[in-house]
Amino acid sequence: MKNLHLILGDQLSSSISSLKGFKKNDLVLMCEVMEEATYVKHHPKKIAFLFAAMRHFALALEQKGYQVRYVKLNDPSNRGNLTNEVARVLEEFSIDKIIVTEPGEYRVEQIIKSWKKKLNVQVDIRIDDRFLCSRESFQKWASCKKQLRMEYFYREMRKKYRLLIEKDNTPTGGEWNYDKENRKPPVKGLSSPKRISHKKSPVLLEVLDLVSRNFAHHFGDLYPFHYAVTREQALLELDDFIERILPKFGDFQDAMLKGEAYLNHSLLSSYINAGLLLPLEICQKAEAAYRKQKAPLNAVEGFIRQILGWREYVRGIYWLKMPEYGDLNYLDAMRPLPDFYWGGATKMRCIGEVVSQTQEHAYSHHIQRLMVTGNFALLAGLDVKQVQEWYLAVYSDAYEWVEMPNTLGMALFADGGILGSKPYAASGKYIQRMSNFCKSCYYNSNEMIGEKACPFNALYWNFLTKNRKKLEGNHRLPYVYNTYDKFSDSKKEEINNQAKSIFIRLGKNSL
Ligand code: FAD
Ligand code: DLZ
């Protein structure tokens, strides 16, 4: 009896369910394959991070006594995709069963499910118990709800995991959610604390060379490379965040600054999503910091909510609604993605800044993703699939299960309100209040009309009027429609003409 335990690139946790019951004679398979590295053109930093983390994980397994077959991308016999690499093992060894933990993406699950027939082999797909809410539990929770909302899901999760919950089952501090304390605009002196760095191992250096030779044509800078690539290094980042940065995480969570990509965000998403860190251990460490009075409640609750609430909620929605979810386009958004998303010139300082941070770090924080690039895509009606592919390609933490609901549901309202209650549409005023981008922008965020008026302003009203039939009934929007209805006819006409001129300039890549 010999079983093949397949570990995918984002399953780098020693507690992964596919390794349970591993026997001496069994084999672990891990492979770097071109198909996974190019199904979208991932940022070179993401590919380097993942390949280096995979190689280190394989070495750690070998040290623990596992027999590992690790296929490098440039191995001459590499057959280029997961199916063909599994088939190669089946040709070389007598394998009774393939054991794999459920993959993060629907696409990969379909591939794995095809093996039974295609490769004539038994496949045991196990639950991914690194997530705190199983696909089945989420379905059960959702099945008795008229409307899905993160806040109520999150409260259940807080009780289930006893995180920031008192003995009498009430939330610590008396409130479930301290978000209103976490939306302060930037103040003088706000900056990104210096982050710890890691010595580059020979494994990482070899991967960086491989990636620079094979993926230089993908969007994004490979160097300087600063990511952790082992669990030990990721744990150092986690501990450093909890000790030094978490106390400041809350207040300026939504603030944005030129040249300051990180501010007080954790930068942990790539490590959690690849499996180097586990969501529960992170939440528990954050709670411990609060209990020891090392971090305030608004910061700790806000941070735990992102992981225990949002992260699990979006994954639940993804699996609940796939595959149909990927084709939703409630607002019929079809305008082609402009060049400036790929680093082309734009006079809009906010977009230029977020795209260049993305290019440099394969990272930009949540509000930048949502309220700058996401907001523009929403207001301009950019093609949902093109926008979704962009987010999947450019961030080091991007996997479809988390990226798609965030893009399609949260940023673009393409799911018509499955994930959230209203579109996150905002004019230039929001960006002006929450950032210092507008101060050095060609456009004026206080102006609606004219060549130098901030494009977000007229596009905001144009978006609302264009989608009025679909949005007017939304209980959170009557206020904005009332405001619009009070505009004079000539103002409405001016906004309409301004939007037309913006779309012409957008089409000519001269915005
Ligand atoms: P922090 O701000 O420090 O938050 C802590 C942790 O909470 C994160 O590491 C992450 O694990 C979790 N988290 C926070 N917000 C979310 C959220 N909305 N959904 C899921 N988890 C969340 N996150 C990804 O992990 N992968 C993606 O591909 C991704 N794509 C996004 C696309 C769009 C359009 C938007 C609006 C958001 C997207 N997010 C994605 C969510 C969020 O922006 C990132 O998780 C966050 O910016 C990662 O940075 P951080 O680790 O510093 O997070
Ligand atoms: C993202 C990614 C990349 C870039 N490369 C590989 C790879 O070569 N081998 C592999 O096993 N996994 C890779 N991955 C992660 C997979 O795409 C991931 O398992 C799916 O996105 C499912 O979440």
Residues 505, 509: Cα–Cα separation, whole Å: 6
User: How many Å lie between the centroid of ligand 2 and the Cα of residue 509?
Assistant: 34
Cβ(16)–Cβ(275) under 8 Å? yes
Going along 163-258, which residue ranges are E strands? none
Closest approach atom of ligand 1 to CA 407: 34
Q: Whose CA is nearest to atom 50 of ligand 1?
A: 267
Closest approach atom of ligand 2 to CA 11: 19
**pTM, entire model:** 0.97
Residues 464, 486: Cα–Cα separation, whole Å: 14
Using omega within 30 degrees of 0 as the cis cutoff, is the peptide bond preceding 323 cis? Answer: yes
Nearest to 133 by CA among 320, 368, 346: 320
User: How many Å lie between the centroid of ligand 1 and the Cα of residue 369?
Assistant: 9
SS3 letters across 440-462: HCCCECCCCCCCCECHHHHHHHH
Residues 222, 382: Cα–Cα separation, whole Å: 28
Q: Whose CA is nearest to atom 23 of ligand 2?
A: 104
Nearest to 30 by CA among 1, 51, 14: 51
Contacts of 232 (CB under 8 A, 6+ apart): none
Q: Whose CA is nearest to atom 21 of ligand 1?
A: 311
Substitution site in 397, 404, 412, 424 for ligand 1 pocket (most atoms within 8 Å of beta carbon): 397
10-residue stretch averages of pLDDT, the chain, 511 residues long: 96 98 97 98 98 98 98 98 98 97 98 97 98 98 94 97 96 94 90 94 98 98 98 98 95 93 96 98 98 97 98 98 98 98 97 98 97 98 98 98 98 97 95 96 97 98 97 88 96 97 96 97
CB atoms within 10 A of CB 226: 14
Nearest to 459 by CA among 491, 482, 427: 427
Q: Whose CA is nearest to atom 4 of ligand 2?
A: 37
Q: Whose CA is nearest to atom 16 of ligand 2?
A: 9
Superfamily, domain 339-507: DNA Cyclobutane Dipyrimidine Photolyase, subunit A, domain 3 (1.10.579.10)
User: How many Å lie between the centroid of ligand 2 and the Cα of residue 70?
Assistant: 14
Sheet holding 27-31, edge to edge: 68-71, 27-31, 3-6, 97-101, 122-126
Classify the phi-psi angles of 297: left when phi > 0, otherwise alpha if psi is within -120 to 50, otherwise beta.
alpha
Classify the phi-psi angles of 215: left when phi > 0, otherwise alpha if psi is within -120 to 50, otherwise beta.
alpha
Decide: 290 in ligand 1 pocket, CB within 6 A.
Answer: no
Query: Distance between alpha carbon 496 and the CA centroid of its chain, in Å?
Result: 34
Decide: 397 in ligand 1 pocket, CB within 6 A.
Answer: yes
Cβ(367)–Cβ(434) under 8 Å? yes
User: 68-71 and 97-101 as β-strands: parallel, antiparallel, unpaired?
Assistant: unpaired
Residues with beta carbon inside 6 Å of ligand 2? Answer: 8-10, 31-33, 36-37, 42, 47, 50, 103-105, 108, 399
Architecture of domain 2-126: 3-Layer(aba) Sandwich (3.40)
Residues 511, 502: Cα–Cα separation, whole Å: 7
In the chain, what are the domain boundaries?
2-126, 135-321, 339-507
pLDDT score for 418 = 96
pLDDT score for 182 = 87
Substitution site in 306, 378, 382, 396 for ligand 1 pocket (most atoms within 8 Å of beta carbon): 306
Decide: 310 in ligand 1 pocket, CB within 6 A.
Answer: yes
User: How many Å lie between the centroid of ligand 1 and the Cα of residue 456?
Assistant: 24
CATH (residue range 135-321): 1.25.40.80
Q: Whose CA is nearest to atom 8 of ligand 2?
A: 32
pLDDT score for 477 = 86
User: How many Å lie between the centroid of ligand 2 and the Cα of residue 105?
Assistant: 10
Decide: 432 in ligand 1 pocket, CB within 6 A.
Answer: no
Residues 250, 245: Cα–Cα separation, whole Å: 10
Residues 408, 321: Cα–Cα separation, whole Å: 12
SS3 state at 147: coil
User: How many Å lie between the centroid of ligand 1 and the Cα of residue 449?
Assistant: 35
Nearest to 425 by CA among 355, 375, 364, 389: 375
